[in-house]
Structure formats: structure tokens, C-alpha cells
Amino acid sequence: MSSENSTGSGWQNSLTWAQENIDAAGGINGKNIEFVYADLGKEDAKAAAQRLLDDPSIVAVIGPDSSSIMFNIAPDFIKKKKVLISPAATSADIFRAFAGKKFIWRTVESDIAQMRSLLLTASQKNFHTAALIVSDDSYGATFFDWFGFFTTELSIKPTGIVRYDQSKTSCEDSMVEALLGNPEVLFAAPSDFNTAICMIKYMKKLRGNTKLLFTDGGVINSIPATLGADAENIEGIGLTFDPLSGFGYAYIKKFGIDPFSDYAYAANLYDAVLLIAYGLQRSDGKGGEDLADAMIKVVSGRGEKTIWDADGVRETLTLLQKGEEPDITGATGPLDFDSQKQTDVTSSTYCLWKIIGHQYICQEFIYSGYNKAGTISSDLSIFNTIASQGKKQDLSSTGTVFNPPAKTGLWAIILSTSTDWDNYRHQADALAVYSRLKKNGLTDDKIILMINDDLANNQLNPKPGEIYNSVGGPNLYQNVEVDYNPINLAPQDLYDILSGKSSDYLSKVLKSKESDNILFFIVGHGEANGADFNQSILDPQDFTETLNTMYDNKMYRRMFIEVETCFGGIMGENLNAPGVILFAGANPWENSLADNYSHELDAWLTDKFAYSMVTMMESKPDMSLNELYEKLYLQVNGSHVSVFNNQAFGDLKAINLREFITP
């Protein structure tokens, strides 16, 4: 933890209080708990983690409160088989990367739950339009990733999504951009004090009609003191204790301060200590794998219910010593973890706060376990939320009759638009599609492969000459023939390749004919106005016009386009060419999420939509495109798989996937 935490010293209060209650109950088999501190405000996080890992007397580590630090040190704890439990690291990437790795735990839900709670609050207040401004870092990433998904589920129209540049001294340009669509509510997720102050001052100066609602990034004790009257009535949401547990009242009685004002994660930290203590009681004081397995058993108990206070701690330790399996409740509420992979709790309590009289006052408690948007089982982490049936497209209508000639051939265009190791997953996705087509018998003369090709021999690659889209999967970099590096192309070059217009530097172009099917796979980054392409944008209208030209020139029989980018649906909104269908992993306001994290490569190996699509290509090639949509819609979490131009394509129930993946 850090002594420089901006929300107070409550973390020390929670630690000592939990320690007192455990020791008063007789400790762990007669032994008291002892804390060894690493102050990340004064010590490098990686060095501190290594020091604690190397100390055999330390059986578990609590912290850090930073998601980026948690992500960086978690692989070391997994390798060393030592439990790491954070009460405050809320990035969704923690669960996405480390779920099921039994040494990594959190007593806090990810900020997916906070984003959902904010939007549910807006919906209940009858706001119909919303915008989001977030920091461009690990804190802002989860809000950025899930805003579009939940606005879709709650039928709130998004008007803008802005990531602000923390290096700039003023937030005003970003605020202007976020407010361009005149939203009824603007959600703000600042990651530092100065930006939060700037946002408040700008909205006060603007005197507009847009409501400003902060995430817990606005819970900084020095804000009311700094702004005085200008801070009054500022509102937002933040994590807090379960009001039904009695923790808040007991905390005030013991320490003379509301835990929400003292340290927002006070209850979560208290519960982290209890969970380790209960695990140690069950493991007979042993750390490592014994402790991790014991903690899984502890949170799975459904016997006698016990609570968090001194008497409850004593009762729980006694029951565990007898070999029983109590159903434990902490200061944050029931300590129910993901039933399949543990790591995360399945519910939290949030506070809808307002600054009144220079203090953060909780106006309303919001229990995330009762609030639903999307489809999620109550025993799973919120990260597993998928799109609801009510938002699924009805593709039963065939629209315009399109009767192409019999298929005689297949062409494929595979485009990965990104570069560098950080974007490993994009080229891996492209190569996974390429590899599947080659295995199905499509030859390189009928495939146009466009990738940067900077991964296999990258200096960061611990496996030179190899590329993977899953941990333990096959090497995808075998007999690969790259036709173009997108960094050397402009959008018009791509359109010329599609249109069959060769030139001195475009030697390989599409030479398909009226009886050929085409598979076009696009993967990379995306913006609200199109897919990224070599520091430019693939404009959706230009894209549509190119496809119409291809139709006029009789260059395809049917074309299946797969778009794996954030906001990918924007590429299909204006699509109208006969015989063309576009599947996007995300709608025009959503992010598309990475998947399959490799600790060894320190990279995300794939994207969820692309990986699911390739899996279907391999396992169920004879399914109809309608069934493919149904499967993908339910498999891809965090976005709404969307289909475009089906009305001009034909009956999706009568057209199968194999048509586009085998010659």
C-alpha cells in the first residue's frame, strides 16, 4: 500500500482493527497475525514485491491499491505460489488475465460494476443521453471498455467517449469534445486531483444543463477544501461498506470518522485480512498452494452464516478449526466469489455521494448484486456479462431477393492494421484466420495477407519465429506469405486492391469473378468514425462505395466481412451492396475486448470475437450464418456482436460458414 493515498489513512485503521479481532479470538491456531509493511509511496513496487516474495516468513501479501501495479506483479506471485489479495485494484484486466490463477484475489469488484451502477443511476433518473470522459490509463480503461455495452443494454444514447491526455495541464479541450453532443449527463473518471478540479471548474464556468457525475476518481478529500463553495453539490459514485453489516456505525464509533470519508476501501481491506486469516486457519497455518486451496474452500462454504465483527470472527475461526464450512459475511457483505474461477467477488455496495458542507455525504446505497444490465449469473464475476436476448437482432427477414450464380472459387483478404508488440493480438488473429484457410486448402495465390510482420522476430519475443493466439496452442507463423505491410499503404491503396486495380507497387490485387465468394477479415484498432489504418482512417462511406463498385464490376458472388475492432459496427452502418454481409465484434459505440493473456509473452494473444469466430471455423464449419451469429452473440462478453446488410444478402439460415472458408 502507499502512505501517499489521497483518500486518507483508513487503510491502517482497517488493518489494525481486523488484527485486533483475530488476535482476540485466539489468533490462527494460537498464533497472532503480524504485518510487514511495504510503502509503495517510498519503495519501487516491483522491488517491494520481490522482497516480500523472497521472505519465507510472509505467507500472503495484501495490496497493492493500484491496478497497473497489481497487473505487473501478479505473474511473479503466481510463479512463486504466494497469495496476493488486493482490496482496491479495480481494473477489469485483473480478472481477464488472472482469473482461475488461484493465488490472485480481490475483495473488490472491478469497475465494470461501477460503470453499470452509474448508468443504472442515470437510467433511473430518466437521462436518455450520456457521454464519458476518462483518463487514458489503466484506471480509465475499464470505464472506456464497458460504457458502450451498458448504454446499449439500458437504451441510453451515447453522444461521446473521450480519453483525456494526462500530460496536458488543462482538461478544457477534452471537456469541450465530451460535451459536443450536448448529453444530459457526463460521466467523469479522472485519475488525478488536478484533472478532477479542472473538470469541476469547467462545468461551473459553463453553467450548462449537462449533469456531471463522477466515478470514485472524484473522491479525493482535498477537493472540498480546495474548491470551497464551488465543490458544493458535486455528485458521484464510490465503493463503500454494506450498510446492513453495521460496519459503518462500528467504524465511526471506534475511529470517530465515517469510513467512506476516511478510506473508500476500508471495508474491502478489512475483509482481505479476514479472508487470509480464515484460509490460514483451514490450512493449519501453511502458505503457498495450501493457503490458496484453503481460501477457495472458505469462500465456497455454505454452512452456518457468520459475520465480520469480533464475535463473528471468533465464531468463524472456531467453526473452521472444527472442520466445518461456514458461510462467511464480511464488512462489504457476503464474501461470495466467482464460483468457477474465484479471484473476484460477485457483488459490491456503492454510495451515491454528494459534497455537502465540505464533506462527502452518502445519499443512497447501491447494491450491485441487485442491479442487472446484460445477462450474468449471480454466482459469476461481472466480467462474464454478455448481451441480453432483448438486444439481439432479428435476422429472420431475408429482405431483397439475391440469387447469385453457383460458387466456383474463394478469395480471402486478411488485414491487420496495427503494429508493435503491444498489439500482438491483432496479427495473431489475422494469422489464425490465414492458418485456418490454408489448412482448408485455400492457396496463397487466392489470399491477400496484409500484416506488419514485426512479431515473430521481435526482440521482445521469447519464442523467436513463433506466434500464438492461445496459450499452449499451435504456432501460427508457419509458411506465411505476407503480401503487403499496411504501414506502406494508404486507404486508397486498399480500395484499389479490393477493386482489382494493380500498379507498380500494388502487384497483387483481387482478381475474383462473379462466381467467387470472398472472405474479408479486418482486425486492429477503431474509432467512432472508422477503422484505424496507418495513421489514417478507413472511412465507412468510402468503404461502402468500394464494395458497391465491386458489385457493379461483378467481382464477387457473396462477400462475408468480419470486423474485429473497437466501434467496428461503424463500418457496416451504411453498407448496402447486394450479396455482402458484415459481422462486427462490437457495435458503433462499443469496444472489442482482448482475450487469452500470456504471462510468458506479456501480451494479449487474441480478441474475444476473433477467437470465437476462428473456433467456429475449426469446429463447426457447416453451421449457418444465422447460427453463427446466435453462437457469437452469446459467447462474446462486453459487446454486442452485430450484423449489417443482411437484408441485401439472402437467407442467413440457408447459407453456411463453409462457403467462405473452403475453396
Asked whether residue 134 falls in the same domain as residue 223, the answer is yes
Distance CA 623, CA 620 (A): 6
What pLDDT, in 10s, does the model give residues 460-475? 999 999 999 999 999 9
Q: Which of 258, 292, 260 is nearest to 276 (CA)?
A: 292
Q: How many domains in the chain?
A: 2
User: In terms of domains, do 89 and 223 share one?
Assistant: yes
Domain final position from 364, 382, 400: 382
Domain co-membership, 418 together with 305? no
> Do 52 and 128 belong to one domain?
yes
103/140 same-domain check: yes
If asked whether residues 420 and 524 sit together in one domain, one would say yes
Tell me the Ramachandran region of residue 534: left when phi exceeds 0, alpha when psi lies from -120 to 50, beta otherwise.
left
**479 and 521 co-located in one domain:** yes
Q: Quote the pLDDT of residue 7.
A: 44
Domain end position, chosen among 356, 382, 408: 382
Angle between helices 608-619 and 625-635 (to 10 degrees): 140
> Is 414 strand, coil or helix?
strand
Query: Averaged in consecutive runs of 10 residues, what is the pLDDT profile of the chain (663 residues)?
Result: 52 93 94 91 92 96 94 96 96 95 96 96 95 95 97 97 91 96 97 95 92 95 93 95 93 92 90 98 96 97 96 97 96 94 94 93 88 85 94 85 91 97 98 98 98 97 98 97 97 98 95 98 96 94 98 98 98 96 97 96 97 97 97 97 95 96 97
Are residues 229 and 283 located together in one domain of the fold? yes
63 with 208, same domain: the answer is yes
Strand partners, 160: 131
Look up the CATH number of the domain holding residue 327: 3.40.50.2300
Predicted local confidence at residue 532, as pLDDT: 96
Burial classification of residue 476, based on how many CB atoms lie within 10 Å of its CB (0-12 exposed, 13-18 middle, 19 or more buried): buried
> Which pLDDT score, from 0 to 100, does residue 11 have?
82
For residue 639, what are the contacts with CB-CB under 8 A and spacing of at least 6? Answer: 148, 149, 387, 585, 586, 587, 590, 591, 592, 593, 608, 609
Tell me what pLDDT residue 371 has.
Answer: 67
**CATH code, domain with 602:** 3.40.50.1460
User: Where in the sequence is the domain holding 287, given as residue range(s)?
Assistant: 1-382
Asked whether residue 294 falls in the same domain as residue 410, the answer is no
Q: Is the domain of 605 the same as that of 482?
A: yes
pLDDT at 215: 97
Final residue belonging to a domain, choices 335, 358, 382: 382
pLDDT, residue 10, reads 65
Residues 361 and 406 in one domain: no
Separation CA 658–CA 616 (nearest Å): 10
Give the pLDDT confidence of 109-155 residue by residue, as tens digits. 999 999 999 999 999 999 999 999 999 999 999 999 999 999 999 99
User: For the whole model, what pTM was predicted?
Assistant: 0.94
**Do residues 154 and 169 make contact, with C-beta atoms less than 8 angstroms apart?**
no
